[in-house]
């Protein structure tokens, strides 16, 4: 810009040509004064990057000289880095979320920025074979392609839960060498770079007013060798891209089909836009006039292919069709390109259209043809005046950092530019604990590391906060997480229960918790390498222990010896019955069992042990004496306990040795035995006499008795007995 601030000189340095223009600003409006274009004499530009600074500088000098002849000396210039010089890289980053209930909002931005930083390193490695040169690339924007939870694509990570969260991003970078080589070429042409912008931003700024930039729109600059793409959404440029096909592919198809040299084919392509018959002169000098359809038909596959390539890149960058597509650049006049693009993007045909400088508000251009190829150079001049892209200086941990101001910059952008690793700023997760649960290895994560402490100009800030020139940013590494800690019950998803009926009452028995072979409480704290078992009880004893009931006295493990032979305890002394059968403490149990227990203590006697071994210890008989029942019992076994004389009802302890010996007593009973169980005065009395009968028959004292016999004994006075006789 000149000293009076009215005249602006702008340059559009393209792959095929350099276009210079003079623009004058008058009270808020602009007038396009002059345009000059020169083609490169050799391939000194490739994909928007200057490969031969001297050759490009020569063409810039020629363009400048032509304009200076008409408008006087030019010293400062507005220029742009070509959209095709931007590098797009895709990368993904994964976050372990297994130790937290869900994904929090504070997790998402670091995950996205980590993916961008990974893309930055990948780009540096692919182009420089050195990932340490990642700072040679300015990040000018990124968009999230997809979020994933455990490998499944999901719309949003917020409040989701799982094991792993990840984000795929497409990030766009501007190589620093592009800017540096541009400045070098200008300096060789005695020009000073007054303001710098990006070509896509320049075109968007003049075609889309600020009030409309919240719309999702794609801008496509179809040049000669490349088609540059920019996506706007939510008031900013969200993504950039480039496809290495453009108008030249269609021109070459025309040249091949109609035997035209390249300049003639280019002229025919431009004339097709008028919709009139086209006069073609081939390399043999033959002139032929064709209707437009006859020319378009053979090149339609090339046009469709161009549309397919552009639409594919738009969908990759935007993940969905935009609301509209604006076409600029000379290639935007390619026949039917708008229709084929709308079909490929599934948009109405009126949502895809070329735009020329007539669409730029407050711009006059008397005597200049308003082609779409002028949108970008005019945009460069106006954008450089109104929205120049500058380097913003900030300080990160005391170190000066310069950021390329192509979008709303945040603290995250400053971190990327500083080279600090996003991941290392976050505290490390606490050490995990590895245990074995029911023979299955389980890893219990430690707590998450804390987010970094961020301060902007001394005040707390977040990674997404915007920054301004001169801001001082301090980032301190977050605290590391705590080692894993858990109680036994915390790692059991659903503790099983055993349903039992005990003494006619229903119970739900919880499981056993075993830590390294030892029974523990469910709230027991776990340690690394613990061997844990959580299972249902397997015996009656375990049921009683889990329920903390008093275990009845049991003879389960008692040992007895009869005549030097080991014998088990009597079954009727078992403290439990399971499903109607006697059961010891170690009896297996299963869901649905019915258990009955007798809490009364049981004792073992000589009699119970011998009778359990089917040894008869007594002879018994029941008879009737004078109408009363008499139960008679006769011991036929003598017993010693550990060598000491013992009765049949003496208690026996575990380990006791019992020795038995049969008595001389007969198993039979006689009438005389009855009198051991009844009280009768049989003393001699001269005045008395008696009468003994068995079953109403006279009997003697030595007469044998049988069960159920009736014995009668009557006393009489002697005088009464003689009278009766």
Cβ–Cβ under 8 Å, residues 332 and 360: no
Q: Where are the alpha helices (DSSP H) in 419-566?
A: 422-425, 540-546
Residue partners of 447: CB distance under 8 A and separation at least 6: 99, 429, 430, 481, 482, 484
**Residue 149's CB: how many other CB atoms inside 10 A?**
17
Q: Where are the alpha helices (DSSP H) in 41-192?
A: 53-71, 105-128, 176-188
How far is 691 from 478, CA to CA, in rounded Å?
115
Place of tokens 């909002």: 105
Read out DSSP for 565-617?
Answer: EEEPPPGGG-SEEETTEEE-TT-B--TT-EEEE--S----BHHHHHHHTT---
Token pair, residue 173, equals 């970078």
Residue 487, phi then psi, degrees to nearest 5: -90, 160
Which domains are assigned to the chain?
210-356 (3.30.420.40), 390-485 (3.10.20), 672-724 (no CATH)
Q: What's the pLDDT at 447?
A: 84
The strand ranges marked E within 176-243 are 192-198, 217-222, 227-233, 236-243
Read out DSSP for 319-349?
Answer: SS--SEEEEESGGGGSTTHHHHHHHHHT--G
Alpha-carbon separation of residue 632 from 204, 638, 648, 670, 696 (angstroms): 122, 18, 16, 11, 21
Cβ–Cβ under 8 Å, residues 92 and 142: no
How far is 203 from 209, CA to CA, in rounded Å?
11
Rg, C-alpha atoms of the chain: 53
Q: What's the pLDDT at 563?
A: 84
Report mean pLDDT in 10-residue bins for the chain, 725 residues.
64 85 84 88 72 89 92 88 74 80 76 84 73 65 81 85 86 79 88 80 76 83 83 77 83 88 83 81 87 88 92 91 91 89 94 87 80 85 73 84 75 83 82 90 86 91 88 91 89 84 89 91 92 90 82 66 80 75 83 80 75 77 88 83 84 82 72 83 65 87 86 74 50
Count the residues in the chain: 725
Residue partners of 619: CB distance under 8 A and separation at least 6: 633, 634, 636, 665, 667, 668, 669
How far out from the chain centre does Cα 622 lie? 85
Place of tokens 């735009």: 355
Q: Is the dihedral of CA 689, 694, 696, 697 positive or negative?
A: negative
β pairing state of 453-456 and 505-509: unpaired
Helix (H) or strand (E) holding 175: strand 164-175
* Best CA proximity match to 199, nearest among 14, 62, 352: 14
């Amino acid at each position: 810009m000149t000293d009076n601030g009215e005249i602006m000189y702008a340059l559009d340095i393209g792959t095929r040509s350099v276009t210079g223009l003079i623009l004058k600003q008058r009270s808020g409006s602009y007038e396009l004064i002059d345009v000059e274009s020169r083609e490169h004499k050799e391939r000194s530009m490739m994909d928007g990057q200057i490969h031969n600074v001297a050759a490009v500088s020569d063409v810039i000098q020629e363009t400048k000289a032509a304009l200076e002849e008409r408008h006087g000396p030019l010293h400062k210039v507005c220029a742009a880095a070509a959209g095709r010089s931007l590098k797009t890289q895709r990368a993904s980053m994964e976050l372990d979320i297994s130790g937290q209930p869900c994904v929090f909002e504070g997790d998402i931005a670091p995950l996205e920025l980590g993916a961008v930083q990974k893309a930055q390193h990948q780009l540096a490695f692919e182009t420089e074979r050195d990932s340490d040169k990642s700072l040679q690339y300015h990040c000018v924007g990124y968009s999230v392609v997809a979020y994933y939870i455990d490998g499944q694509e999901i719309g949003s990570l917020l409040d989701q839960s799982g094991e792993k969260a990840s984000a795929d991003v497409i990030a766009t970078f501007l190589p620093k060498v592009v800017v540096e080589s541009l400045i070098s070429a200008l300096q060789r042409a005695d020009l000073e770079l007054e303001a710098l912008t990006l070509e896509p931003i320049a075109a968007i700024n003049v075609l889309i007013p600020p009030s409309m930039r919240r719309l999702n729109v794609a801008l496509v600059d179809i040049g000669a060798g490349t088609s540059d793409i920019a996506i706007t959404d939510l008031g900013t440029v969200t993504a950039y891209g480039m496809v290495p096909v453009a108008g030249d592919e269609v021109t070459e198809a025309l040249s091949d089909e109609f035997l035209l040299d390249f300049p003639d084919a280019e002229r025919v392509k431009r004339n097709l836009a008028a919709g009139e018959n086209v006069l073609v002169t081939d390399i043999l000098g033959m002139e032929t006039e064709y209707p437009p359809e006859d020319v378009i038909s053979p090149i339609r596959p090339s046009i469709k292919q161009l549309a397919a390539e552009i639409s594919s890149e738009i969908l990759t960058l935007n993940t969905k069709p935009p609301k509209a597509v604006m076409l600029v650049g000379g290639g935007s006049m390619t026949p039917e390109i708008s229709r084929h693009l709308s079909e490929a993007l599934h948009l109405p045909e009126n949502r895809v259209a070329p735009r020329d400088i007539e669409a730029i508000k407050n711009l006059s251009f008397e005597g200049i043809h308003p082609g779409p190829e002028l949108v970008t150079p005019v945009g460069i001049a106006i954008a450089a005046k109104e929205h120049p892209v500058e380097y913003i200086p900030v300080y990160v941990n005391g170190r000066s950092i310069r950021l390329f101001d192509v979008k709303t910059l945040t603290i995250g952008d400053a971190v990327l530019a500083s080279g600090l690793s996003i991941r290392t700023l976050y505290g490390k997760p606490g050490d995990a604990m590895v245990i074995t649960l029911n023979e299955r290895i389980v890893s219990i994560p430690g707590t998450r590391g804390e987010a970094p402490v961020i301060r902007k100009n001394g005040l707390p800030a977040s990674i997404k906060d915007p920054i301004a020139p001169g801001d001082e940013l301090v980032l301190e590494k977050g605290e590391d997480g705590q080692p894993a800690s858990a109680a036994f019950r915390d790692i059991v998803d659903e503790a099983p229960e055993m349903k039992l009926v005990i003494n006619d009452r229903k119970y739900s028995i919880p499981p056993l918790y075993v830590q390294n072979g030892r029974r523990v409480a469910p709230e027991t704290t776990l340690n690394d390498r613990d061997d844990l078992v959580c299972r249902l009880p397997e015996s009656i004893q375990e049921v009683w222990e889990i329920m903390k009931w008093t275990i009845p006295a049991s003879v389960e493990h008692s040992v007895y010896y009869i005549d030097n032979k080991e014998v088990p305890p009597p079954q009727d002394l078992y403290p439990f019955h399971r499903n109607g059968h006697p059961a010891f403490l170690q009896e297996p149990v299963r869901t649905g069992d019915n258990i009955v227990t007798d809490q009364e203590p049981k004792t073992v006697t000589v009699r119970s042990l011998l009778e359990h071994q089917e040894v008869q210890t007594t002879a018994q008989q029941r008879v009737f004496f004078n109408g009363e029942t008499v139960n008679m019992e006769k011991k036929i076994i003598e017993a010693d306990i550990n060598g000491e004389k013992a009765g049949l009802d003496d208690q026996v302890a575990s380990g006791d040795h019992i020795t038995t010996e049969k008595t001389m007593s007969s198993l039979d009973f006689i009438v005389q035995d009855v009198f051991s169980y009844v009280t009768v005065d049989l003393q001699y009395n001269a005045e008395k006499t008696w009468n003994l009968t068995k079953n109403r028959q006279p009997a003697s004292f030595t007469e044998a008795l049988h069960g159920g016999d009736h014995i009668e004994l009557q006393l009489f006075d002697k005088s009464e007995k003689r009278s009766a006789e």
